[in-house]
Amino acid sequence: MTEITTDQSLAMLAALAQETRLEAFRLLVAEGPDGLPAGDVARIVGVPSNTMSTHLAILERAGLIASQRSGRSIVYSARLDAMKALVLYLVQDCCKGQPGLCGEVAAMLDPASSCARPETQH
Amino acid sequence: MTEITTDQSLAMLAALAQETRLEAFRLLVAEGPDGLPAGDVARIVGVPSNTMSTHLAILERAGLIASQRSGRSIVYSARLDAMKALVLYLVQDCCKGQPGLCGEVAAMLDPASSCARPETQH
DNA sequence: GTGACATTTCGATGGTTGTAGAAATGAGGG
DNA sequence: CCCTCATTTCTACAACCATCGAAATGTCAC
């Protein structure tokens, strides 16, 4: 996920442009690669589990989080590579107009070396 | 605009999470600091001028673009500093969970950030 | 002043979205 | 099999949003 289309960016932006979802996503990012069961996310954020379920589905469809069954629970975790791709997309827009302004950031994110996930992808 | 609240980020994300607005914003970014009159933006993107006017107002309220009268026209231009602040906000979320992952990006966009890794840089 | 032009505001409409109760699906444990 | 727990789907509803025609506002030239 180092290249990204406008449609994908649109889906990610729409997924993050909602208070409950942004909060859930930030929680999952803060929780790290181990993630958190859907129920815990709902409880911490403070919404019913079915409501959170739809939000998590939207985040997952946008590619921003991943899900994995673990016993009775479904554990969600943030996909930082997707986040990186979104940031890259936004910064590349900057570059197009003014190469000197955000060029360093784009160059840093693009090689996938300095910011890449160290462990295995799911 | 180097610090940014969650509400502001939410407004920016919502402003960009819409096809017509994202297209208009990218157009303004590509156009550079001189910007473009509202009518030109509407014509190029291909929507009526009143529709584009509401979209430009939303982008401006989010802080992503600026407006300036020039004769009969109102010229809009992208605010790259706001864009940078949004990217910084997103990347700082990354840092919170995994400091080693996107720390260099945060440090580059805002050297005073708590995410920076001072001992290994430079 | 009048007229032409650029843009915004008003108003209405159709579509989308966030929310949550109720029911259904799935996964252990006995 | 039966029960319980975790999560998702189904369904409905209220609120919001994108769109655009029509009218209003503001600006310049004459």
* pLDDT of A27 strictly over 90: yes
* pLDDT of B24 strictly over 80: yes
* pLDDT of B122 strictly over 50: no
CA of A87, closest CA in chain B: separation in Å? 6
Name the protein residue, with chain letter, whose CA is nearest the C1' of D21. B50
Residue of B nearest to A93 (CA): B26
Percent with pLDDT over 70 in chain A: 75
Q: Which CATH number fits domain B6-81: 1.20.1240.10, 1.10.10.10, 3.50.50.60, 3.40.50.300?
A: 1.10.10.10
* pLDDT of B118 strictly over 60: no
Q: Name the packing angle between helices B19-31 and B38-45 (round to 10°).
A: 120
Is B93–A83 a contact, with Cβ atoms under 8 angstroms apart? yes
Is A108–B108 a contact, with Cβ atoms under 8 angstroms apart? yes
State residue B43's pLDDT score: 98
State residue A87's pLDDT score: 87
Among the partner residues A29, A108, A114, nearest to B96 by beta-carbon distance: A29
Alpha helices of chain A — where are they, by DSSP H? 6-16, 19-31, 38-45, 49-61, 80-97, 99-109
Is A19–B10 a contact, with Cβ atoms under 8 angstroms apart? yes
Once rounded to an integer, what is the mean pLDDT over residues A112-120?
39
Cβ neighbours for A40, distance < 8 A, ≥ 6 positions apart: none
Average pLDDT, chain A: 84
Mutation for testing the A interface, residue in B18, B31, B101, B113 having most A CBs under 10 Å:
B101
**A66-90 residue pLDDT tens:** 999 999 999 999 998 898 889 888 8
Give the residue, A56 or A103, on which the prediction is more confident.
A56
* pLDDT of A121 strictly over 80: no
Report the topology of domain A6-79.
Arc Repressor Mutant, subunit A (1.10.10)
State residue A55's pLDDT score: 98
The residue ranges of every structural domain in chain B are: 6-81, 87-120
Reported as half-sphere exposure (CB side, CA atoms, 13 A), residue B113 has a value of 27
Average pLDDT, chain B: 84
State residue B95's pLDDT score: 65
Q: Classify residue A45 by burial, with Cβ atoms within 10 Å: 0-12, 13-18, 19+.
A: middle
Once rounded to an integer, what is the mean pLDDT over residues B105-112?
59
Residues of chain B contacting A16 with CB distance shorter than 8 Å: 13, 17
* pLDDT of A65 strictly over 90: yes
* pLDDT of A58 strictly over 60: yes
Among the partner residues A13, A29, A94, nearest to B97 by beta-carbon distance: A29
Strand partners, B78: B65
**B44-103 residue pLDDT tens:** 999 999 999 999 999 999 999 999 999 999 999 999 889 988 988 888 776 665 655 565
State residue A35's pLDDT score: 95
Q: Answer yes or no: is A67 CB < 7 A from strand C.
A: no
Amino acid present at B104: E
Give the residue, A35 or B120, on which the prediction is more confident.
A35
Give the residue, A19 or A105, on which the prediction is more confident.
A19
Q: Which of A117, A51, A44, A41 is nearest to A79 (CA)?
A: A117
Is B109–A105 a contact, with Cβ atoms under 8 angstroms apart? yes
Give CA B40 to chain center in angstroms: 20
